[in-house]
Amino acid sequence: MHNKTIADLAKGLRSGEFSSVELTQSFLDRIKQHSSLNSYITVTEDLALQEAMAADARIAKGDAELLTGIPIAQKDIFCTQGVKTTCGSKMLDNFIAPYDATVIEKFNNAGAVMLGKLNMDEFAMGSSNETSYYGAVKNPWDTNTVPGGSSGGSAAAVAARLAVCATGTDTGGSIRQPAALCGITGLKPTYGRVSRYGMIAYASSLDQGGPMARSAEDAAIMLQTMAGFDEKDSTSVDQPVPDYLAGLNNNLDGLKIGLPKEFFGEGLNSDVAATLDAAINEYRKLGAEVKEISMPNLKLAIPAYYVIAPAECSANLSRFDGVRYGYRCENPADLTDLYTRSRGEGFGKEVKRRILMGTYALSAGYYDAYYIKAQKIRRLISEDFKNALAEVDVIMGPVTPSTAFGIGEKIGNPIEMYLSDIYTIAINLAGVPAMSVPAGFVDGKPVGLQVIGNYFAEDRLLNIAHRYQQVTDWHQQTPKGFE
């Protein structure tokens, strides 16, 4: 049951083959059975069964949607009313959100069943899920390795079939990188496509929520529910949401694929490169034309990102001050003590590092040299994407330089950790949509192909991924022990 796609599960629910309560219970059982993966922070068992019952009633009445009764899980960055919302931090260990994020509201309206809240790097800052206050998540393909981050819990849970699908958020690669390392399909939509309301902010101009699923088709079903203008988010874009399922099977004849030479140079593991070559060949067979392109400013993405994202986070995380909610230190002596100890004790090392970097970059005398300069680079990178996407329909490349690395391997070296997002970060700076599509394995560990499209071309990306998934079965592989 847990290996079925959303469409198949929806059919099974409608035909009475199984109920949502049965389906939900089977996932709850699996979550318990595989709790050592540490993919969930909170399992909302009672709530899930209640929602499943309501879904069964709705299905019986005949007004069910595709997601009605489907057990999904939410990254713990989305506020869920009445449910603990931690953002992977000690700071919010006691925080019960008093409202639902827009994305959560949309899934609730669709009748999806929430199994629980998924583990993540603290405040979405990390590429390995090791910065979580709730401990590292294990990659189901090799439990000695990381699942990637920051949506590591989401990727691990979907890969291990502990949820049909899950939400993620992506600021510099946080959907695509874990999707690649865990062998699932992840989509970071165009900035502004999915509402950020109720999604705890890391770097507001880069954050974007998106689907993490087993297939492009499932991702399309999720995005259909998640996308759309939200009057509560001024940066969401008021543009109609297309039917993402309608064009999934469009043929790829004459599709122009660009391969930036900057993506295939030094630093890319040769086995990963070979795997990607094979995937791109598959596209040739599907009728695509492939050409090399150049995006000269990509190399500036990491330094620009590590100014802009920390700058924004340094302000975004100021609200966690121990005054109104969240962690407060014991017996503060005075206001300064309250602030310094609550924040000092409540935040983890990586979060503090980024707050400090951001504070520094915005300080008087440094602002022009760092923040303004980084914004200029950001514009150059956007130009690179605009130029490239005028020449080709989509850009393809790696998601990560290598397959999943070992737990503990990079956590002591922030620069090396930051470099694991080298192929994903530029996409956030430009704001374009991109996917990670399972494209093969190296030594039994998944490899992801990144497909990058033009603004609001999610439908095209899903189509391109879906056609590939019709002729390959990488996305259907299940890690050992989780069949």
> Contact 122/351 with Cβ under 8 angstroms?
yes
Residue numbers 216-235 binding other proteins by CB under 8 A: 231-235
- Asked whether position 359 contacts other proteins by CB under 8 A, the answer is yes
Please state the closest distance from residue 462 (CB atom) to other proteins, in A: 27
Of the residues 39, 127, 150, 236, only one is catalytic, namely 150
Query: Using the rule CB under 8 A, is 239 a contact of other proteins?
Result: no
Of 11 and 379, the one with the shorter C-beta distance to other proteins is: 379
Question: Residues 306-345 vs other proteins: string with x where CB under 8 A?
Answer: -----xx-xx-xxxxx-xxxx--------x---x------
Please say if 117 is a catalytic residue.
Answer: no
Q: Build a one-symbol-per-residue string for 151-180: x at contacts with other proteins by CB under 8 A, - elsewhere.
A: ------------------------------
Nearer to other proteins, 142 or 170 (CB): 170
Whether 15 is a known active-site residue: answer no
Of 3, 363, 387, 413, the residue at the interface with other proteins (CB under 8 A) is 363
Beta bridge partners of 145: 406
Residues 177-206 that bind other proteins (CB under 8 A): 196-201, 203-205
Q: Which is the catalytic residue, given 39, 128, 151, 174?
A: 174
To the query of whether residue 75 is one of the catalytic residues in this protein, the response is yes
Q: Which is nearer to other proteins, 334 or 473 (CB)?
A: 334
Interface with other proteins, residue 87, by CB under 8 A: yes
Least distance from C-beta 198 to other proteins, angstroms? 4
CB 201 to other proteins: min, Å: 7
| Shortest reach from residue 239's CB to other proteins, in Å | 14
The alpha-carbon radius of gyration of the chain (Å, integer) is 21
Looking at residues 417 to 476 of the shown chain, list those that interact with other proteins (rule: CB under 8 A). Answer: none
Q: Does 94 bind other proteins (CB under 8 A)?
A: no
Q: How far is the CB of 217 from other proteins (least distance, A)?
A: 29
Tell whether residue 96 is a contact of other proteins (CB under 8 A). no
Nearest to 91 by CA among 113, 70, 76: 76
Report the residue from 13, 59, 72, 79 that binds other proteins according to the rule CB under 8 A: 79
Task: Find where tokens 């050992």 sit.
Answer: 480
Considering the candidates 19, 20, 75, 138, report the single residue annotated as catalytic.
75
Q: x-or-dash pattern for other proteins, window 258-297, by CB under 8 A?
A: ----------------------------------------
Number of residues engaging other proteins in binding (CB under 8 A) = 45
Catalytic residues: 75, 150, 174
Name the residues that contact other proteins, by CB under 8 A: 78-79, 85, 87, 92, 95, 97-99, 101, 196-201, 203-205, 231-235, 311-312, 314-315, 317-321, 323-326, 335, 339, 359, 362-364, 367, 371
